Amino acid sequence: MTTLLQWLMVLLILAVHVPASHANPMQRHGPVAIGMLALLWAPTGDMLGLRDGLVALGYQPDVDMALGVRFAAGRTDQLEPILRQLLSHGAHILYVSDWNVLQAARRVTIQTPIVFSAWYPPTPDEMALGDNVTGVTHAFPDVNPQALERFRALIPTLQRVLAPYDANASYLAEPLQALQREAARLGIRLDARAVHTQAEAKQAIMLTPKAEIDGILPIGGSLNIAGYALQASLQRHIPTLFAWSWMAEYGGLASYGPSWYDLGSQAARLVDQIIKGSEPKTLPLETSRKMHFVINLRTAQKLGVTIPPALLSQADEIIR
């Protein structure tokens, strides 16, 4: 059985045409195969952005390039086996979502080009990515200072905001300072509360008296801060603004955070350059600043919050 037939059997194939002017050594022996892997259970926004980004660059649906989409269904122990499978079936480029998948890819290959999208920028320890790696991170991973202005627009009476954050996430130091400055400008009393464990996060969010806060602005890291904030939003009826759009879909009042779709769309340009012959080590890491604003009108109604039409017009997505 040919490599191409094996690839078609193993992967969910999305075909993309490569114009003749894009021809390069990767295409001399058939389709350029891009193996895509996420830790989750379904296509992520950045995967969709990557596909659409390639189309926007002039790649049309055909059989000259194959996007093979795989998911680890939350199992980190399956990342490396899946990546090895993608490579064994002919992947010329690997595209991975977020750092945990990237680290697995780096352990599997030091030769195949790897392009990644990640929520937050690399730490000093992560900066040495390897000559075969490039990608896109976001400028405001867990908190954009402008989120407070959006929150005030949602809740005009907003005065006191609880902002629990992961004390172990060192990359949050600078964004938190910017958030404090924005709070002072808006006249908002920001309770930026450091939590070190899941228990501390739950206690801060679920046990802080409701009379002491007008809203919650959860700031992530590796702790389940967003999960407890969603629980508080649903059970304690406290307005909450998330950085993650799926939290608004699950019942949060709104979200204002990085656009995963744009991360993938921007990464498509890096993939395009690699297809044309560039080496990943010559392509510096890029930064996305695109934000995604979601409002859940069902939750707003439950909370008794009236969303001004002008604010609705600013939303990228409205859940009715």
For the record, the structure tokens of 120 come out as 């937050």
For the record, the structure tokens of 116 come out as 């990644």
> What is the DSSP-derived secondary structure letter of residue 282?
G
What's the whole-number average pLDDT of the chain?
87
User: Could you give the CA distance from residue 57 to residue 280 in angstroms, rounded to a whole number?
Assistant: 19
Of the listed ranges 122-126, 254-258, 291-295, 297-301, the least confidently predicted one is: 122-126
Of the listed ranges 16-25, 128-137, 239-248, 261-270, the least confidently predicted one is: 16-25
Report whether pLDDT(74) > 50: yes
Report whether pLDDT(287) > 60: yes
pLDDT reported for residue 26:
60
**Which residue from 278, 285, 266 is spatially nearest to 93, judged by alpha carbons?**
278
pLDDT per position as a tens digit, 189-209: 999 999 999 999 999 999 999
pLDDT reported for residue 10:
39
Assess contact for 84 and 27: CB atoms under 8 A: no
For the record, the structure tokens of 102 come out as 């990237």
What b/e sequence results for 26-49 when a residue is b if at least 16 CB atoms lie within 10 Å of its CB, and e otherwise? bbeebbbbbbbbbbeeebbbbbeb
**Which residue from 294, 284, 312, 279 is spatially nearest to 112, judged by alpha carbons?**
279
User: Could you give the CA distance from residue 162 to residue 213 in angstroms, rounded to a whole number?
Assistant: 6
pLDDT reported for residue 306:
94
pLDDT (mean) for 14-33: 52
pLDDT reported for residue 15:
37
Say if pTM beats, i.e. exceeds, 0.85.
Answer: no
What's the farthest any 2 CA atoms get from each other in the chain?
68
In order of start, what are the domains of the chain with their CATH numbers?
Answer: 3-138+260-289 (3.40.50.2300), 146-257+292-319 (3.40.50.2300)
pLDDT (mean) for 82-89: 96
221: region left, alpha or beta (phi > 0 left; psi from -120 to 50 alpha): left
pLDDT reported for residue 273:
96
Sorted by sequence, the CB contacts under 8 Å of residue 153 that are 6+ apart come out as 308, 311
pLDDT reported for residue 62:
62
| 291 or 8, higher pLDDT | 291
